A and B are shown apart, each in its own frame.
Chain A
């Protein structure tokens, strides 16, 4: 079984975001890059499947600038993935073109029995690339998955949907699954894992070599801005009864939200 895990490098969740001078994106100077948290669940699940199924192989793949994106592949290799592929691509490639690049590369590598991804990337929060990759590969997909059971023909997944409900479905393989929190507990890369990762294959593919036309870029993010400053907080004084009464009055008469 060949498993591909699509992962993305994103700014650490602690990052204070600054806007680039031309407003075309964020100022990446000084940003600490990490693996998108949801992708950690995808990598962990792939490695677990490999451990439970002899002969399974885990390939991790990312599209991003060569100057930094290989780090996220090294992390995944240290967690136990077998091989990494970096698609050296422009910064801020949109979801459609990214999905095209990932699908093309997976296909060129002989295709996958199972593609795993995170349910969304916490940078653009678009939750789009996974479903698009599935469409381009012609496989079924399930997103927001918190439980996965594998058999060689099909997988059964539990999806978290609105109101705490769960949908349980069965997908024929090959298929794509986008992981939610709860799927597993991602392992930390161990020191031996990190040492071993240094010897694993890390391939590079040029985005330009994939012949994806410029018209496959569909959405550009522009005019970045920080949220407007909030007026300072109004602190309510008095004992708890007075504070409670005052708050309800303000919510009703001043903020008008009741």
Chain B
């Protein structure tokens, strides 16, 4: 049996849910699960990695890896991946994962399947499926000529069960040989939002032109707060300058697949649907019964959003005790 290596990411000292999903999926395969964590806080993750199935835990504890630099990360990770020698490398299709692993794949002369939504690891075989044409169809990614099969998984696609704190892994530390860098990170300007990014969010409340003006996004913010959700938007309102492009869902925005997607005053143009039709449950609130969004929705409410949304917020608050 071979090894599966999981690259883990953390936030505020804890593993991201997407990393836990990958560790648990790897553990289920019955193969040896190696994990790789980087940065000065990597130590603090060891217990959690072990409890979620990581058996051989590799750390690069260099503080220069606390913020992301593509060149430095590629130089740090590649030799460790080569040393560990997994047949499959799993990482999440996060900003970091999507930027870094194609470069590493090229360096390792191996294949990469990005942005996958289905994963199966059985008998040393990996198979992954991914949305194509922004979710208008799906295809299997089949590897060939690939010493390490690199799979980047979208968040929230795999089940997570409670961790088992009795399980622990062995730790190996690796030194970082710093290359001459041609990239200098000058500044990281933190976003104002403390919420999960759209691509990681489990619940999304999205607003469209039906909201009439920028200030009315407050209604959605309240609804999102009641649900612990992240707010998204259609391109129409991004182009109107009501909200930033980082909030756009769709073919030229973010492709998302949360458990619950509530579309408010969004018509459901094909380019918007392309970015969210993979959501598990879709709720549409629109005053036009013929809006195309209803064709993709699980539950639909025909009504005036200015009337429905505040009532819904109140109802969620009651039920969820927020």
A: residues with CB less than 8 A from B are 11, 13-17, 19, 26, 37-38, 94-96, 99, 122-132, 134-136, 139-144, 146, 156, 160-172, 175, 180-182, 215-227, 230-231, 233-236, 240-241, 243-245, 247-248, 250-252, 255, 257-258
- Give the chain B neighbours of A37 by CB distance below 8 A: 251-252
On whether the beta carbons of B311 and A240 are closer than 8 Å, the reply is yes
On whether the beta carbons of B294 and A227 are closer than 8 Å, the reply is no
Total A-B pairs, Cβ < 8 A: 270
Listed by A's residue number, 7 A-B pairs whose Cβ atoms lie within 8 Å are: A13-B134, A13-B274, A14-B270, A164-B193, A240-B308, A244-B308, A258-B227
Q: Which of B44-52, B183-191, B208-216 contacts A (4 or more CB under 8 A)?
A: B183-191
On whether the beta carbons of B281 and A255 are closer than 8 Å, the reply is yes
Interfacial residues of chain B within 177-209, with CB under 8 A of chain A in the complex: 182-193, 195-197, 199-200, 203
On whether the beta carbons of A223 and B140 are closer than 8 Å, the reply is yes
Question: Which of B189, B200, B203, B297 meets A166, CB within 8 Å?
Answer: B189
The CB with the most chain B CB atoms within 10 A, among A132, A170, A218, A252, is that of A218
Interface of B is mostly: mixed
Asked whether any CB of chain A lies closer than 8 Å to the CB of B277, the reply is yes
- Give the chain B neighbours of A132 by CB distance below 8 A: 102-103, 105-106
On whether the beta carbons of B199 and A162 are closer than 8 Å, the reply is yes
- Give the chain A neighbours of B316 by CB distance below 8 A: 248
On whether the beta carbons of A244 and B137 are closer than 8 Å, the reply is no
Residue-wise, chain B 279-308 has the 8 Å CB interface mask toward A (1 for contact) of 011011000000000111111111110011
Count of interface residues, chain B, beta-carbon cutoff 8 Å = 99
- Give the chain B neighbours of A144 by CB distance below 8 A: 95, 99
B: residues with CB less than 8 A from A are 67-71, 74, 94-96, 98-100, 102-103, 105-107, 110-115, 130-146, 182-193, 195-197, 199-200, 203, 227, 244-248, 251-253, 255, 259-260, 270-271, 274, 277-278, 280-281, 283-284, 294-304, 307-308, 311-312, 314-316, 319-320
- Known A-B contacts A122-B251, A163-B195, A218-B143; the reply to A257 vs B260 at CB < 8 A is yes
Within the complex, what minimum Cβ distance (angstroms) separates A6 from chain B? 14
- Known A-B contacts A19-B137, A132-B102, A139-B182; the reply to A258 vs B320 at CB < 8 A is yes
On whether the beta carbons of B283 and A247 are closer than 8 Å, the reply is yes
- Give the chain A neighbours of B304 by CB distance below 8 A: 240
Report Cα–Cα, A241/B309, bound state, in Å. 10
Which residue on A lies nearest to B142, using beta carbons?
A: A220
Q: Which 5 A-B pairs have the closest CB atoms?
A: A218-B111, A164-B191, A135-B106, A128-B102, A162-B197
- Give the chain A neighbours of B193 by CB distance below 8 A: 163-164
- Known A-B contacts A132-B102, A224-B137, A233-B300; the reply to A165 vs B189 at CB < 8 A is yes
- Give the chain B neighbours of A162 by CB distance below 8 A: 94-95, 191, 197, 199-200
- Give the chain B neighbours of A167 by CB distance below 8 A: 67-68, 185, 187-189
- Give the chain B neighbours of A171 by CB distance below 8 A: 182-184
- Known A-B contacts A140-B183, A169-B184; the reply to A126 vs B99 at CB < 8 A is no
On whether the beta carbons of B106 and A131 are closer than 8 Å, the reply is yes
Question: Which of B68, B139, B145 meets A222, CB within 8 Å?
Answer: B139
Within the complex, what minimum Cβ distance (angstroms) separates B284 from chain A? 8
- Give the chain A neighbours of B136 by CB distance below 8 A: 15-17, 226-227
On whether the beta carbons of A247 and B99 are closer than 8 Å, the reply is no
Within the complex, what minimum Cβ distance (angstroms) separates A32 from chain B? 13
On whether the beta carbons of A99 and B106 are closer than 8 Å, the reply is yes
Report Cα–Cα, A164/B246, bound state, in Å. 6
Report Cα–Cα, A251/B203, bound state, in Å. 12
Within the complex, what minimum Cβ distance (angstroms) separates A90 from chain B? 15
